[in-house]
Amino acid sequence: MPTVSPIERVGKYIGPEEWNALISNPDTVVIDVRNNYETRIGKFKGAVDPCTTSFREFPSWVDEHFQLTETDDREHPKVEVNSVQPAEKEMDNKRQHMPRVAMYCTGGIRCEKATSLLLSKGFKEVFHLEGGILKYLEEVPETESLWEGECFVFDKRVSVEHGLVPGNFKLCYGCKQPVSDADMEAPEYEYGVSCPHCFAQKSDEEKERARARQRQFERWGIIGGPDKGRRPTCEQESTNRKPNQLSRSI
């Protein structure tokens, strides 16, 4: 990220109970600051998806899609908004006043940096969801929710739904991206090796190394998948020992 300081200034925090009203306002541009593998399985209705593969790409996306221009009134700079805005907002690509921006991410941390960045570039009204998507899904009833899909999380659950109930996605151990049941039925899916989202990016050599690694995991009984590396418990090891091995250990 550029030289921005969330410690010095960040956007205005908006609680889950006020979020729906803010993002339903047609004058608000809603931006999802997460990465494409996260937004692919769920996002807020009408949100702009920057389609980044890493949070480091976000500043470049802002520069490209919000082009600051000089005006006679320095108190009210204007921007050109790229056509990636949701159709329902009907925002044209001509010069217009700096838009009100509402941003969100999984837990709120990335938004502190992202809102600080926009403020440093002259945006005046910058808001972000306090506690992130997780707090929203925890507090807002599903019947009132504007969230669509599931939320990717960086733990064994892989994804969660309203009420933070574990979702339906699994993890591809080849690329660490979420995969659906349909993805796992695809010919490109191979457990521990690849999925439809990474198959084309992996060379044959990389896939063969992944297969060899997977065979080692299966042979030596490592539990929890290739990214866990947790071996069986002592009780399991004792059960699997041969009698002469057990006697020598006493």
Distance CA 77, CA 178 (A): 40
The answer to whether residue 234 is catalytic is: no
Distance CA 199, CA 249 (A): 46
What DSSP state is assigned to residue 128? E
Long-range contacts of 32-39 (CB under 8 A, 24+ apart): 32/103, 32/104, 32/105, 33/58, 33/103, 33/104, 33/105, 33/110, 33/111, 33/114, 34/105, 34/106, 34/110, 34/152, 37/152, 37/177, 37/178, 37/197, 38/106, 38/151, 38/152
Distance CA 248, CA 250 (A): 6
Q: Where are the alpha helices (DSSP H) in the chain?
A: 16-24, 36-39, 58-65, 109-120, 132-139, 181-185, 204-220, 234-240, 243-249
Catalytic pick from 105, 111, 151, 172?
105
Q: Which residues are catalytic?
A: 105
